[in-house]
């Protein structure tokens, strides 16, 4: 056991260290060299979510409910997935309108309403105090466990209570670093630095205990789980149904939802995540770093809980304190001290941030509006008010801590850490409809938000904290069991007779149902006032509007000097003049303030005292002429038009871009066509020149040598005739192709029997086949099949394919097969040869004009290279398709299909060789 005095000294030294860090952080901020401007620091500061509840309470809950502690961390992980959309918008709104608390956020959205601001503050404080009390309880109990008083009891004398001194130290810390000066942005860099440091302490401390338990006391997790689960009484922790009881999954879902909302709306989370955010981009890293932190700090919760249950059977030690008790029981005093510091960190960081956040709300959203409304105080006309404001803040801190301390002594000792925490979570969940609705739904009105919040808060109070008074002995047990005055449907845990829910899920369901229902319902049936209308749009469209100059939705007369005086009173002379300088410079030192200057001044004030109070104050120094709803609508329409116009511009430029891309593509295609045309002409002139050259050469020989022997003359004349024929053929083919391509070819359409086409073509090619000693096989079905086409053209196609096949056939053992296949709706003709085949890369271009695939020997094959191109055009004109399949080295098969004319039966016919020509 450790000496109580020693532990106390350590705790105070630790707080001293926090003071040092915070001082350093503030000093660096004043020098303009912020140390918190890092996404890692931001993510660590968000981990203020992990309080003493996480550090001690999770283990306690795991010991009784297995994995039941997890929804509290899975929920925030799920919310973090949506942070990029939700939290980023909250940050942007708060930055643009200088919002400094969650109450201010709600009030500002619904027309800077001071009533709403006060209501939210009341809910936040009522919900927050038990949670702070929970931390004080954790500090007090952990202190007692560590100093060797195993059964914690509420201390008799307050002066003996270490928690009191710790509370006082924390109050001092919060006052020093939470209310140093009034700032239009209300950021506390030193405080954030200290919080981030605390997150760096609590994680290793908890993991150290986890590692010690898992690998020091046991041989790893398998050993630990194996031994624990050998005991039948622990097996129930393995499954949801056994560990959480009936309705386990419902409870699980509601807990997850509760935690999802809590991470956004707990005042302290709003403080670190939104108000203290330095740079929106930090969010990008925090989105995964924060869940990772939660994952790590929770990894050893169940192992520690099981080890504790085995070490202290029969409830000798409160399961909430296993983290300390296990190391102590094994003589690991240093580890226990480290764990204590970790838990202390978790508790203190939460207390500090929550207190500062709540005190800002109390002063800006509760006290100040009241003071400003009390006319005889004439507050707006007084001298320097910075002192008064800071005084109220400090009073707020003391008040919150005092309330928490009293709550801890009066009630909190009767509860486990987790149950107190959940009550607080359920309170802040009430902000969800008003805030989320307000951020995405323009129509949400102040009346709707007010009704929803009041209903939710009342139901929360009736179903959660009120019954807890029964446990504290302040109300009779019959209140829970039979309902007030014996009215059964008013039983706080079974409201309206709803059974089978645990108290938290039950309270959350009813409160959110009424809250959201009234918010939406009342909003739909109430009108927004001018100010609400403007603010609703400012919030919902913040990304579209921020960065644009404020629109003149204000009209009236104000003097720059009045505004300056006002700002000086609340911000101090130096700060006020500095903040106003850029605006004054723009205004050119005019005496009457422009609408922009007035709006800027209001925002500056809002940062210091909240938007509702700022509104009241500005109204006190300007002679405002109220704008009618009509006028505001006109202004809104105008800006809406500007926005629509810029959207239109955006769309147009996108279209233009697309058109440019299309034009470019078309240009490329034209260039390609031009190149092809050049190639075509060059090829065709080459093709023409070859026979012409040879005709001319032989003619010249004969011309110059009239005495040539008759035999030679005959031979030469034969060549000339052949070349001339070739020339004619080429020209004919070019003409045919030209006609086909230009579409001027007249197709003489008639039903054509495909068998006849094949016969005719085969007959025509026969001499060549014979000459080259090729085996030609033809297989066609017996039943005639017809296509609608030009008979001569189709013969031409087949002839071209056949002469192509003849040309490329194997010279030694040439074989060609022609097949006609009849399919239900088309006919297909295959012409197969056993030549060298076509390389895959050439198969796609083989039908191009003059594309002659070079044989392996590099020899240019005979022919014009137009045959396949013509065949393709003809087939296409007949709505058919032509293609080639080839396995290089194993011949090629040219195939084409044509739509088939409906025949008598329409079934494919069995094949039979009608002619077998072995020539």
Partner 1 sequence: MTRARLVALFVLGLLLMNFPLLSLFSRERLLLGMPVLYVYLYGVWALVIGLLIWLMERRRTTPPEENP
Q: Which residues of the shown chain bind partner 1 in the complex (CB under 8 A)?
A: 66-67, 70, 74, 77-78, 80-82, 84-85, 89, 220-223, 225-226, 229, 235, 237-241, 249-250, 252-253, 256, 281, 284-285, 287-288, 291-292, 295, 299, 302, 543-544
Smallest distance from partner 1 to CB 835, Å: 52
CA 705 to chain centre: 92
Smallest distance from partner 1 to CB 241, Å: 6
Smallest distance from partner 1 to CB 638, Å: 21
DSSP structure string for 121-176: HHHHHHHHHHHHHHHHHHHHHHHHHHTT--S----SSGGG-HHHHHHHHHHHHHHH
Q: Is 821 helix (H, G, I), strand (E, B) or coil?
A: strand
Distance CA 284, CA 707 (A): 99
Cα distances (angstroms) measured from residue 439 to each of 117, 444, 544: 17, 9, 13
Measured from the CB atom, the residue of 299 and 708 that comes closer to partner 1 is 299
Smallest distance from partner 1 to CB 249, Å: 4
Smallest distance from partner 1 to CB 240, Å: 4
Smallest distance from partner 1 to CB 221, Å: 5
Measured from the CB atom, the residue of 215 and 288 that comes closer to partner 1 is 288
CB burial of residue 784 (10 Å; 0-12, 13-18, 19+): middle
Tokens for 49, please give them: 């979510």
Region for residue 776 given its phi and psi (left: phi exceeds 0; alpha: psi -120 to 50; beta: otherwise)? beta
Angle at 746 between CA 740 and CA 750, to 5 degrees: 120
Smallest distance from partner 1 to CB 641, Å: 18
Among the listed residues 170, 158, 129, the one whose alpha carbon sits nearest the alpha carbon of residue 403: 129
> Residue 711: in which H helix or E strand, if any?
helix 710-742
Measured from the CB atom, the residue of 85 and 663 that comes closer to partner 1 is 85
Measured from the CB atom, the residue of 139 and 248 that comes closer to partner 1 is 248
Smallest distance from partner 1 to CB 67, Å: 6
Measured from the CB atom, the residue of 233 and 905 that comes closer to partner 1 is 233
Measured from the CB atom, the residue of 84 and 165 that comes closer to partner 1 is 84
Smallest distance from partner 1 to CB 432, Å: 16
DSSP class of 559: B
Smallest distance from partner 1 to CB 88, Å: 8
Largest CA distance in the chain: 147
Which residues make Cβ contacts (< 8 Å) with residue 904, sequence separation at least 6?
783
Which residues make Cβ contacts (< 8 Å) with residue 604, sequence separation at least 6?
98, 184, 567, 571, 576, 579, 580
Cα distances (angstroms) measured from residue 585 to each of 304, 558, 579: 63, 17, 11
Distance CA 256, CA 270 (A): 19
Measured from the CB atom, the residue of 74 and 464 that comes closer to partner 1 is 74
Contact 786, 900 (CB under 8 A): yes
Measured from the CB atom, the residue of 253 and 645 that comes closer to partner 1 is 253
Measured from the CB atom, the residue of 286 and 400 that comes closer to partner 1 is 286
Count of Cβ atoms closer than 10 Å to residue 662 Cβ? 10
Measured from the CB atom, the residue of 234 and 786 that comes closer to partner 1 is 234
Smallest distance from partner 1 to CB 85, Å: 6
Smallest distance from partner 1 to CB 319, Å: 18
| Helices and strands of the chain, counted as H and E runs | 38, 10
Measured from the CB atom, the residue of 53 and 69 that comes closer to partner 1 is 69
Distance CA 170, CA 161 (A): 15
Measured from the CB atom, the residue of 1 and 81 that comes closer to partner 1 is 81
């Amino acid at each position: 056991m450790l000496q109580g005095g020693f532990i106390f000294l350590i705790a105070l030294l630790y707080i001293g260290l926090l003071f040092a860090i915070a001082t350093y952080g503030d000093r660096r901020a004043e020098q303009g060299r912020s140390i918190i401007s890092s996404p890692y620091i931001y993510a660590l500061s968000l981990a203020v979510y992990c309080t003493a509840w996480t550090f001690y309470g999770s283990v306690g809950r795991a010991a009784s409910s297995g994995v039941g502690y997890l929804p509290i961390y899975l929920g925030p992980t799920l919310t973090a997935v949506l942070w990029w959309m939700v939290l980023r918008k909250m940050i942007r709104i708060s930055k643009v309108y200088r919002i400094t608390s969650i109450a201010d956020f709600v009030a500002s959205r619904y027309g800077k309403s001071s009533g709403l601001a006060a209501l939210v503050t009341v809910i936040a404080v009522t919900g927050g105090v038990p949670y702070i009390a929970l931390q004080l309880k954790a500090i007090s109990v952990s202190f007692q466990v560590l100093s060797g008083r195993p059964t914690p009891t509420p201390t008799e004398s307050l002066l003996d209570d270490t928690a009191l001194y710790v509370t006082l130290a924390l109050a001092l810390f919060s006052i020093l670093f939470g209310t140093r000066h009034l700032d239009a942005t209300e950021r506390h860099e030193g405080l954030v630095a200290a919080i981030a440091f605390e997150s760096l302490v609590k994680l290793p401390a908890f993991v150290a205990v986890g590692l010690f338990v898992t690998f020091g006391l046991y041989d790893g997790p398998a050993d630990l789980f194996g031994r624990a689960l050998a005991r039948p009484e622990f097996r129930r922790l393995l499954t949801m149904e056994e560990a959480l009881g009936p309705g386990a999954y419902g409870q699980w879902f509601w807990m997850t939802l509760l935690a999802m909302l809590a991470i956004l709306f707990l005042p302290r989370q709003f403080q670190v995540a939104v108000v203290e955010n330095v740079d929106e981009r930090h969010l990008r890293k925090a989105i995964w770093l924060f869940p990772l932190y939660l994952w790590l700090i929770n990894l050893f919760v169940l192992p520690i809980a099981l080890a504790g249950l085995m070490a202290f059977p029969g409830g000798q030690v409160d399961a909430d304190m296993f983290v300390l008790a296990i190391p102590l029981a094994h003589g690991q005093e240093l580890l226990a001290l480290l764990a204590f510091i970790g838990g202390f960190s978790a508790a203190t960081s939460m207390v500090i941030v929550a207190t500062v956040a709540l005190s800002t709300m109390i002063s800006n959203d509760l006290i100040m509006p009241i003071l400003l409304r009390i006319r005889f105080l004439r507050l707006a006309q007084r001298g320097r008010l910075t002192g008064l404001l800071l005084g109220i803040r400090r009073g707020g801190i003391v008040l919150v801590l005092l309330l928490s301390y009293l709550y801890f002594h009066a009630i909190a000792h009767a509860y486990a850490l987790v149950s107190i925490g959940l009550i607080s979570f359920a309170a802040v969940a009430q902000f969800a409809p008003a805030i989320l609705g307000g951020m995405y739904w323009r129509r949400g009105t102040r009346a709707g938000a007010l009704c929803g919040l009041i209903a939710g808060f009342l139901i929360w109070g009736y179903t959660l904290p009120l019954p807890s008074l029964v446990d504290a002995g302040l109300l009779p047990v019959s209140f829970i069991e039979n309902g007030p005055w014996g009215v059964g449907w008013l039983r706080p845990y079974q409201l309206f007779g709803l059974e089978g829910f645990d108290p938290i899920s039950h309270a959350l369901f009813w409160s959110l149902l009424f809250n959201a229902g009234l918010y939406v319902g009342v909003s739909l049936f109430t009108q927004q006032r001018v100010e609400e209308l403007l603010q609703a749009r400012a919030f919902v469209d913040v990304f579209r509007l921020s960065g644009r100059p404020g629109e003149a939705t204000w009209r009236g007369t104000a003097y720059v000097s009045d505004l300056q005086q006002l700002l000086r009173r609340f911000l101090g002379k130096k700060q006020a003049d500095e903040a106003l300088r850029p605006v004054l410079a723009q205004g050119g030192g005019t005496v009457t303030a422009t609408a922009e200057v007035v709006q800027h001044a209001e925002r500056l004030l809002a940062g210091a005292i909240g938007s509702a109070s700022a509104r009241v104050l500005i109204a006190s120094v300007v002679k405002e002429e109220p704008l009618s709803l009509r006028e505001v609508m006109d202004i809104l329409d105008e800006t809406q038009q500007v926005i629509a116009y810029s959207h239109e511009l955006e769309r147009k430029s996108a279209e233009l871009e697309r058109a440019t891309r299309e034009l470019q593509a078309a240009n490329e295609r034209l260039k390609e066509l031009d190149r092809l045309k050049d190639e075509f002409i060059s090829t065709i002139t080459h093709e023409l020149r070859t026979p012409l050259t040879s005709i001319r050469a032989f003619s010249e020989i004969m011309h110059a040598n009239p005495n040539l022997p008759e035999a030679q003359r005959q031979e030469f004349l034969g060549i000339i005739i052949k070349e001339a024929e070739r020339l004619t053929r080429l020209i004919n083919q070019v003409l045919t192709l030209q006609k086909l391509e230009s579409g001027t070819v007249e197709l003489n359409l008639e039903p054509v029997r495909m068998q006849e086409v094949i016969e005719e073509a085969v007959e025509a090619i026969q001499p060549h086949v014979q000459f080259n000693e090729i085996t030609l096989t033809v297989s066609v079905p017996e039943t005639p099949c017809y296509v609608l086409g030009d008979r001569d053209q189709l013969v031409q196609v087949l002839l071209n394919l056949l002469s192509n096949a003849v040309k490329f056939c194997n010279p030694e053992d040439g074989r060609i097969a022609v097949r006609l296949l009849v399919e239900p709706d088309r006919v297909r003709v295959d012409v197969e040869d056993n030549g060298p085949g076509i390389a895959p890369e050439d198969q796609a271009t083989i039908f191009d004009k003059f594309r002659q695939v070079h044989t392996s020997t590099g020899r240019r094959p005979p022919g014009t290279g137009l045959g396949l191109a013509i065949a393709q055009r003809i087939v296409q004109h007949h709505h058919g398709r032509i293609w080639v399949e080839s396995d290089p080295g194993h011949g090629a098969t040219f195939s084409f299909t044509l739509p088939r004319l409906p025949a008598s039966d329409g079934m494919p016919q069995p094949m039979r060789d009608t002619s077998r020509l072995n020539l």
